[in-house]
Amino acid sequence: MAVKRKVVKRKPDKRVQRIRVRNSNRQLFRMIRVMCFIGTLVIANVLFTMVTKTHIWSGESVLNSKVSSSIVNTTVEAKRGTIYDRNRQVIAQEVEAWTIVAYLDDDIVDENGDPDYVKNASRTAKKLSSVLEDANKKNIEKILKSAMKQGLSQTELGTGTKRLDEETMKAVKKLDLPGIGFIGTTNRNYPTTPYSSTLVGFAAFDEDEQRVVGKMGLEQSMNDILAGEDGQVQYQQTVSGNILPGTTTVYKEAKDGDNVVLTLDSSLQSVVEKAMKETMEYNRAESAWAVVMEVETGKILAWSSYPSYDQNKHKEIPSYTDAVSSMVYEPGSVMKPFTYAAAVDTDTFPYNTMYRAGSFEYGYDSTTNKINRVYGANTGYPTIYDAQGNDYGTLTFEDGLAFSSNVGICELLANYMDYDSLGKYLDRFGFFQETGIPYVTEGVGQKNVGVPMDYLRTGFGQSSSITVLQLIQAYSAIFNDGIMVRPYVVDSIEDAKTGEVIKSYKTKVQGTPISKETANEIVEMMTHVLDEGRSGERFKIDGVSMAAKTGTGEIYDVDKGKYDTVNYTSSVIAAAPAEDAKVLVYWGMIGPNFVNYSAQQFQDIMRAALIAYGVSSAPQETEEEEETEKWETYTMPSLVNHSMSYAEEKMKNWKCQIVKIGSGSVVTEQYPKEGSTVSSGDRVFLLTDGNDIKMPDMKGWTRKDITAFWELTGIQIKTDGYGAVVSQSVEPDTAISANSDITVTLE
């Protein structure tokens, strides 16, 4: 049984109480003594300063303007986060920088006791501007003289003298100018610029915000993530800038910005940048682009949009439009596989069925909502032709894709598919809507299928407009067993100090617009695009299995209200290996060279892409392969009434073929006419005053060339087929006249 105990409260012993009181009094006394001591020091400091006129911390006279102190509230800049590629190679980083400051107080001396201030504003400005590329001599001189007049002890010197790199800072130091010093600061640096300049963008010092701010691309859209949060500090300093000891108070700690890791591969990106420079230069292109994407994940391994710029200087931005994400365009024949996919997926594709290529004339019955092909009738609708006037004769629809026949698309849409099918499938493929790629600004494009002409033209990549991002997303479904994935370029966001992943991005499936079986059938058809004599033959890479599609698109000029007759879109999209696609490459450009451009740049990118992904079947270019020649354009001079030797001299450096007609020595007519544009590979026809005309070797001639010869000579040439001349009924160098019977065959 538990025993209850009585708790007895005892009164404290009086002796113990007295001891506690005594101890408390002693502690209080000690605190009072410390406070009195501190107060005495403060009073002594004040009295000492008042009597001696000397600052107790520095030992200097308080009457000296260089020592007089003031309270400074300042911002401590957070370090901006670094942008890395997928292998932790630096794309953008914060680096140490220096801003020039000019000291003007004539009491300032250097360590040897010699005067160390700016005496001669004009001389100083002249010397500085000699090594500072972006600085203006007159501006520096004006700032110096104004500061001197105001009696300032120091001043900064304006544009071109701030946030200098180490090399420039050392160059200024070598000038050994009196009164010129530096203030340490930071700047944004891009080690391998240009590096996907429109995507990554750049950050620069903002005078209004007084900090480095993202101005374009990911640097701008991710600015809040990269910038961090600045801190706040208060301290007391002398006029000369020295902080007085013991006066610094931190009110808010700076929080550095987070790091960003991209999916890009720097080794591959460098190959792409080189290829894009060549594309622009060799083809006189207005713009160009290239994207490499992992088919199964949507990770972007390389992204390039040209024209580009130096991200470290960003003086001139040639274009703020990113050709990959925000440009909307009519892509041309790279859209044809989606029309084929819609036909296959709806079980309306006519396997092993023939159709007549060349031209497509049609009418429309609004009561049945049907387009009907007609022959020789004027229906009011414009005739649709295969590209460049080609007539491939009778083709199967499977071959129609390989030859890139516009008429084959029209036949599918008019005679086999339901009118509404195309628009529905284009929506399912994600066209005419944003992909939702994180942190990237996107265009949308426009679907135009409401009237028969636009409906048919949309089927082969005209009338309706899209973006490159939409296209590669849609192609992921074709190359990935019908599964469509969203492209993405930001892999993760990390804490700059701990390396902890704050947020990561993964593959996002956008849907399954077509079945696996349909996707595999389209891939099989696309492998034949690279066959000999087909539209993509030039892009073939020995040893690499690819499925591909080429595209040439017209560009609508909004200002003129019609399609451009000079510049076109030229592109190719391909995935490899074809039997199990891993990487997708889309290369394209806008410019006048849409016929004779080289495939070299695309091939270089595809080889590098396969290596970056780890696919072994990526043979390198052999030394025997010829270097790509630059494609050039020329303005045709007036050659009529000039000698042939004069004409040949005028065109001696042209990459053109001069065709002399007649035995004379003086030019009587010419084609093209004066002022016309002539491109690499074109033929220039010169009719002379001699009567003896001989049959030229017409192999490789186009209908345009044959027509020019006919018009200049009056000699009729009968043609059979379309394409380029492969044979002729009259042997070269045979004398001919207006009575000659000449036939050439084109294929």
Query: Rounded to whole angstroms, how far apart are CA atoms 460 and 528?
Result: 18
Query: Rounded to whole angstroms, how far apart are CA atoms 289 and 283?
Result: 13
Query: Rounded to whole angstroms, how far apart are CA atoms 288 and 468?
Result: 11
pLDDT value for 93: 95
Residue 633 has pLDDT above 80, yes or no: no
Arch. (CATH architecture) of 633-746: 2-Layer Sandwich (3.30)
Chain mean pLDDT for the chain: 87
pLDDT value for 450: 92
- Higher pLDDT: 237 or 264? It is 264
For the segment 70-92, the average pLDDT, to the nearest whole number, is 85
What are the tens digits of pLDDT across the range 608-630? 999 888 775 455 554 444 455 56
Residue 58 has pLDDT above 60, yes or no: no
What are the tens digits of pLDDT across the range 327-364? 999 999 999 999 999 999 999 999 999 999 999 999 99
Say which range, 438-452, 499-513, 573-587, 650-664, has the weakest mean pLDDT: 650-664
Decide the pairing of beta strands 231-238 and 562-576: unpaired
For the segment 386-407, the average pLDDT, to the nearest whole number, is 93
Query: Rounded to whole angstroms, how far apart are CA atoms 107 and 114?
Result: 10
Query: Rounded to whole angstroms, how far apart are CA atoms 35 and 48?
Result: 19
The pLDDT confidence band at residue 2, using thresholds 50, 70 and 90, is very low
- 499: left (phi > 0), else alpha (psi -120 to 50), else beta? left
Give the type of residue at 161: T
Q: How many CB atoms lie within 10 A of CB 503?
A: 11
DSSP state of 541: -
- Higher pLDDT: 66 or 35? It is 35
pLDDT value for 720: 77
What are the tens digits of pLDDT across the range 104-131? 988 887 777 888 899 899 999 999 999 9
| 6-25 burial code (b ≥16 CB/10 A, e <16) | eeeeeeeeeeeeeeeeeeee
- DSSP assignment string, 134-148: T--HHHHHHHHHHHH
The pLDDT confidence band at residue 67, using thresholds 50, 70 and 90, is very low
Say which range, 22-26, 76-80, 102-106, has the weakest mean pLDDT: 22-26
Residue 722 has pLDDT above 90, yes or no: no
pLDDT value for 73: 65
pTM of the model: 0.75
pLDDT value for 169: 93
The pLDDT confidence band at residue 168, using thresholds 50, 70 and 90, is very high
Task: Give the CATH H-level superfamily of domain 271-613.
Answer: DD-peptidase/beta-lactamase superfamily (3.40.710.10)
Percent of the chain residues topping a pLDDT of 90: 66
Half-sphere exposure of 104 (CA within 13 A, CB side): 18
- Which strands, in side-by-side order, build the sheet including 657-661? 657-661, 683-688, 667-671
| Distance, C-alpha 618 to centroid of its chain | 25
Residue 36 has pLDDT above 60, yes or no: yes
Residue 216: its H or E element: strand 211-216
Percent of the chain residues topping a pLDDT of 70: 85
pLDDT value for 626: 44
| 51-70 burial code (b ≥16 CB/10 A, e <16) | eeebbebbeeebebebbebe
CATH number at 73-82+92-191+230-259: 3.30.70.2110
For the segment 310-332, the average pLDDT, to the nearest whole number, is 94
Q: Which residues contact 684 (CB under 8 A, 6 or more apart)?
A: 636, 651, 654, 656, 657, 658, 659, 670, 671, 672, 678
Q: What is the dihedral of CA 158, 159, 160, 163, to 10 degrees?
A: 70
What are the tens digits of pLDDT across the range 223-259? 999 998 877 767 666 555 566 676 666 667 778 999 9
Residue 209 has pLDDT above 80, yes or no: yes
For the segment 554-560, the average pLDDT, to the nearest whole number, is 90
For the segment 150-164, the average pLDDT, to the nearest whole number, is 90
For the segment 380-404, the average pLDDT, to the nearest whole number, is 93
Give the type of residue at 369: N
Q: In angstroms, what CA-CA distances link 159 with 67, 213, 310? A: 30, 17, 18
Residue 53 has pLDDT above 90, yes or no: no
Show the 3-state SS of 372-389.
EEECCCCCCCCCEECHHH
What the block records as the tokens of 564 is: 């451009």
Residue 185 has pLDDT above 90, yes or no: no
